[in-house]
Amino acid sequence: MTSEGSVAPATGRATPLALCWIIYGIVRLIAAVWLLSFAGTATVMFGALLTRVPNPYSLMSAFHLIYSGWIILSAGSGIFAILAGLAMFARAGASRILALVAAVLSLAFLPVGTALGTYTLVIFLRRD
């Protein structure tokens, strides 16, 4: 039996899961930087599609809002993933909460984020 503040169930999956979260977090942060570096190119490409649209400025504003949100979600997912992985390695009491936040944030990123997030949710929300 595990206590409420424990890192993982008695199966001993904390260390491989922590390593997966750290690697996933690094990849997400790299993806956020990559998205940020191509923001100008993405804007020009999306703007080229708006030549025959009656009101292109509102669509361009929506594009910037969605693109910025995607960058923020990617960076936030990466930061929480690294924090969750480090907390699991350290067997910290907050590792369960950090892992659940990282799992929820990662669900939007197919296929690895969805698989890792779903697995973490199943492991940490399971009733003994």
Q: pLDDT, tens digit, for every residue of 31-54?
A: 999 999 999 999 999 988 888 888
How much is the mean pLDDT over the chain?
Answer: 89
- Whole-angstrom Cα distance, residue 96 to residue 1? 16
Q: What is the chain's Cα-based Rg? A: 18
CB 80 within 8 A of CB 22: no
| pTM listed for this prediction | 0.83
Comparing CA positions, the residue from 126, 102, 95 lying closest to residue 116 is 102
- Whole-angstrom Cα distance, residue 121 to residue 96? 10
**Residue found under tokens 């977090």:** 25
